[in-house]
Amino acid sequence: MDRKRVLIAGFGDTGVLTAIRLARRFDVVGISVNPGLVSGQEVGVRLARPDDWARDYWIGFDRFRALDGVGTVHGTLTGSDLAARTVSVEDAHGNPRSEHYDALVIATGVTNGFWRQRVLQTAADVEEGLRAAHDRLGASRSVAVIGGGAAAVSSAANLAIRWPGTRVGLYYPGESLLPQHHRRVRQRIESRLCAAGVTLHPGHRAVVPDGFDCDAITADPVYWSTGQPPLRSDAVLWAIGRVRPNTGWLPRNVLDDRGFVRVTPELQVPGAPGVFAIGDVAATDPLRSSARNRADGLVAGNVAAYFTGGRMRAYRPPATRWGSVLGVQPNGLEVFAPNGFAFRFPAWSIDRILQPWIVRRGIYRGVRDQYMVTKG
């Protein structure tokens, strides 16, 4: 009997993990704008220590042992015909092609800041982008980070730790940071920011003009709708959470009012047999939390159940965000549970236990040692 063909649209963090889960039972093909996994995680470490970040988060697809039997298409999704079970792709050479599927997993994620873009990139493009942002911020005597979520907090903390002589200010509209995290996390992270030398500026809501490019590091004055005088800084990093789902290639009837993919509790797309969605692109809950809660196992199981007529499981989102906020630091990695309590991986364990055994062998089921790093 012919093996079913599962197409994974978007080969970022959740797409790769889903492919690993499905590869032994089905013919799996992933479509990606990048030539490898360019993770959206740990943006602060990416900006402050790009070589360290690249070692763990910029991984060529050929390094994943569990993807050895998985096909990849380096290209941009341009359209879809869900009734005919096909998607349209323009490959890296500009050639149009059509990809057929028996089941489709939509994992195209969102565009959010310069670190999460839906643009076709070569390996050289990725490396150049990592180095350019790092060098721009490293040459600045003052950096303003706009936003109060995890990306903004991580960026401010890591930049202040990396360059202690740089004035780093964090400007956010509310009275407290990390509104989607548990209060214990907020308290802990605020103390860490202050210890790193980050100046906190609550109650600052930035004016974002129509057409303004929030995906770039800028140097123009920042104006506030909350009455403060304009801010001038050598570099302004925008992390205001203005996410745009990468769904322009999908029919409008499978999207909600904001452009995210509508899903059932089983992560199926209503009215589209054999189509599932996972990650930041899926409208699972207000936090779109399937991107951060290992729902890859659930959706892979539900894809298999779709083919066999078995029982599917429902995704149950947590009430608050959890996980790492600041990324790996000189004293180790702090990871927060949903109840706000933290547990720590000591520094010595990161390269001896966490990355080689828990991440590369346990989560990714084997990653070859050679890795891509930035130059210079």
pLDDT (0 to 100) of residue 238: 92
Identify the band that residue 374 occupies on the pLDDT scale cut at 50, 70 and 90: very low
**For residue 335, with 0-12 CB atoms within 10 Å meaning exposed, 13-18 middle and 19 or more buried, which class applies?**
middle
Would the CA dihedral through 208, 246, 32, 37 be positive or negative? positive
Does pLDDT of 13 surpass 60?
Answer: yes
Does pLDDT of 340 surpass 90?
Answer: no
Considering the chain, what is the average pLDDT of its residues? 91
Q: Which long-range contacts (CB under 8 A, 24 or more apart) does 207-213 make?
A: 208/240, 208/242
* Joined tokens for residue 69: 């039997």
pLDDT (0 to 100) of residue 322: 78
**Beta carbons of 133 and 238 less than 8 angstroms apart:** no
Beta-ladder partners of 99? 87
DSSP element (H, E) containing 241: none
Identify the band that residue 108 occupies on the pLDDT scale cut at 50, 70 and 90: very high
Q: What are the two backbone dihedrals, phi and then psi, of residue 116, each rounded to the nearest 5 degrees?
A: -135, 85
Per DSSP (E only), the strands in the chain are 5-9, 27-32, 36-38, 58-60, 71-81, 86-91, 96-100, 103-106, 110-111, 142-146, 167-171, 199-201, 235-238, 244-245, 275-277, 323-324, 332-336, 342-346
Provide the CB-side half-sphere exposure for 364 (13 A, CA). Answer: 25
- More confidently predicted of 250 and 331: 250
Q: Which long-range contacts (CB under 8 A, 24 or more apart) does 66-70 make?
A: 66/19, 66/20, 66/23, 66/364, 66/365, 66/366, 67/16, 67/19, 67/20, 67/23, 67/30, 69/23, 69/28, 70/19, 70/23, 70/28, 70/29, 70/30
**Beta carbons of 333 and 324 less than 8 angstroms apart:** yes
Domains and CATH numbers, the chain: 5-112+243-308 (3.50.50.60), 135-238 (3.50.50.60), 323-358 (no CATH)
pLDDT tens per residue, range 310-332: 999 999 887 777 789 999 998 89
Identify the band that residue 1 occupies on the pLDDT scale cut at 50, 70 and 90: low
> Can you tell me the mean pLDDT for 220-235?
95
Identify the band that residue 212 occupies on the pLDDT scale cut at 50, 70 and 90: confident
Distance CA 356, CA 371 (A): 13
Kindly state the greatest CA–CA separation across the chain. Answer: 69
pLDDT tens per residue, range 348-372: 999 999 999 999 999 999 999 864 4
> Can you tell me the mean pLDDT for 90-116?
91
Length of the chain: 376
> Can you tell me the mean pLDDT for 147-165?
95
Identify the band that residue 90 occupies on the pLDDT scale cut at 50, 70 and 90: very high
Distance CA 40, CA 56 (A): 12
**Beta carbons of 296 and 267 less than 8 angstroms apart:** no
Give me the helices (H) in the chain, please.
13-22, 43-48, 50-57, 123-138, 150-162, 183-196, 296-308, 347-349
pLDDT (0 to 100) of residue 289: 81
